[in-house]
């Protein structure tokens, strides 16, 4: 579904991503784990061309290395960005409307689906996005991405700053979604991510140092020492 080859991201003299390869197949949850500053966000942003990059990216058999961000999203590759990036000056429903910008016909239907899946969003539909709690904002960010009926979803640290109970809810949603679309999940919460993932990549200083089946990584001594707290 998604193939990345020799991806490089530089910010001036900083080499954030130094030529990585990764692949997400249909039906998979793939996770990319790594410490702060390892280059996870840069990788996701580079895939959708939100930052300058070099390298090759293929989505659904199509070369999207040079495709503009909004066109990549229209093709069905959606990113739930780090920090959720809710439009805080728009209401919950308007946020959903933005997610469905190119999906006019399905807006009402999808909206009801989202309200069923995330009942708290329904209660707060006319509230400004900025007034939601962190957990609600994360739900909204996911719902907003789903309003575009993506063919694949990338999530950048969806558990960031959330209470354990809410993290559980978010991961349940990700598992649920993975039944219909492949998922590339970036997480610092490596344990939780590897537990639900099929395959995992470990990113260190912009390079992939380890990749394997998620279950193998969970048992790997190095991973345990570095990312799973021993």
Partner 1 sequence: MDMQIFLQQLINGASLGSMYALIAIGYTMVYGVLRLINFAHGDIMMVGAFLTYFGMESGLSFELAALLGIIGAAIVGILTDRIAYRPLRDAPKISLLITAIGISFFLENLFTVLFGATPKAFKAPEYITKVFHIGEIYLPISVIIIPTITLIILAIVLYILYKTKYGMAIRALAFDIKTVKLMGIDADKIIMIVFMIGSALAAIGGIFYAISYPSIDPLMGVIVGLKAFAAAVLGGIGSVTGAVIGGFILGFTEILVVALFPELGGYKDAFAFFFLILVLLFKPTGIMGQDLERGRF
Specify whether the CB–CB gap between 96 and 147 falls below 8 A.
yes
User: Can residue 105 be called a binding residue for partner 1 (CB under 8 A)?
Assistant: no
Question: Looking at beta carbons only, is 21 or 82 nearer to Mg ion?
Answer: 82
Which residue stretch of 40-48, 107-115, 171-179, 213-221 sits at the interface with ligand ATP (rule: CB under 6 A)? 40-48
User: Can residue 97 be called a binding residue for partner 1 (CB under 8 A)?
Assistant: yes
Please give the size of the binding site for partner 1, defined by CB under 8 A: 27
213, interface contact from Mg ion, partner 1, ligand ATP, none, CB < 5-8 Å by kind: none
Write out the binding residues for ligand ATP, residues 139-198 only, by CB under 6 A.
188
User: Can residue 130 be called a binding residue for partner 1 (CB under 8 A)?
Assistant: yes
User: Can residue 111 be called a binding residue for partner 1 (CB under 8 A)?
Assistant: no
Instruction: Determine how many CB atoms are found less than 10 A away from the CB of residue 215.
Output: 14
Contacts within 8 Å (CB) and 24+ apart, 41-45: 41/82, 41/156, 41/157, 41/186, 42/9, 42/16, 42/17, 42/206, 43/4, 43/7, 43/9, 43/17, 43/186, 43/203, 44/79, 44/81, 44/82, 44/154, 44/156, 44/184, 44/186, 45/9, 45/79
Tokens, residue 186: 């970036």
Buried b or exposed e, range 52-89, using 16+ CB within 10 angstroms: ebebebebeeeebbebeeeebbbbbbbbbbbebebbee
User: Can residue 99 be called a binding residue for partner 1 (CB under 8 A)?
Assistant: yes
User: Can residue 177 be called a binding residue for partner 1 (CB under 8 A)?
Assistant: no
Question: Looking at beta carbons only, is 128 or 210 nearer to partner 1?
Answer: 128
CA gap 76, 115 in Å, rounded = 22
User: Can residue 41 be called a binding residue for ligand ATP (CB under 6 A)?
Assistant: yes
User: Can residue 74 be called a binding residue for partner 1 (CB under 8 A)?
Assistant: yes
Write out the binding residues for partner 1, residues 7-26 only, by CB under 8 A.
none
Buried b or exposed e, range 29-39, using 16+ CB within 10 angstroms: bbbbbbeeebb
Please give the size of the binding site for ligand ATP, defined by CB under 6 A: 13
Least CB distance to partner 1 at residue 69 (A): 4
* Binding-site ranges for partner 1 (CB under 8 A): 48, 50, 68-71, 73-74, 78-79, 81, 85, 87-90, 94, 97-99, 101-102, 104, 130, 144-145, 148
* Binding-site ranges for ligand ATP (CB under 6 A): 11, 14, 16, 34, 36-42, 82, 188
């Amino acid at each position: 579904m998604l193939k990345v080859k020799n991806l490089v991201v530089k910010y001036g003299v900083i080499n954030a991503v130094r030529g990585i390869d990764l692949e997400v197949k249909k039906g998979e949850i793939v996770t990319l784990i790594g410490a702060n500053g390892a280059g996870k966000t840069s990788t996701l942003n580079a895939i959708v061309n939100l930052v300058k990059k070099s390298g090759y990216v293929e989505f659904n058999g199509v070369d999207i290395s040079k495709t503009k961000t909004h066109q990549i999203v229209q093709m069905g590759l959606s990113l739930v960005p780090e920090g959720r990036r809710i439009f805080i000056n728009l209401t919950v429903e308007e946020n959903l409307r933005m997610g469905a910008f190119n999906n006019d016909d399905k807006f009402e239907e999808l909206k009801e689906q989202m309200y069923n899946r995330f009942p708290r969003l329904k209660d707060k539909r006319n509230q400004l996005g900025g007034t939601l709690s962190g957990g609600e904002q994360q739900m909204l960010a996911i719902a907003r991405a789903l309003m575009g009926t993506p063919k694949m979803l990338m999530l950048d640290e969806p558990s960031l700053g959330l209470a354990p109970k809410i993290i559980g809810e978010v991961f349940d949603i990700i598992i649920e979604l993975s039944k219909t679309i492949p998922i590339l999940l970036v997480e610092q919460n490596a344990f939780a991510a590897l537990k639900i993932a099929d395959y995992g990549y470990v990113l260190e200083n912009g390079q992939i140092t380890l990749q394997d089946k998620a279950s193998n990584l969970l048992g790997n001594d190095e991973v345990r020492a570095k990312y799973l707290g021993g």
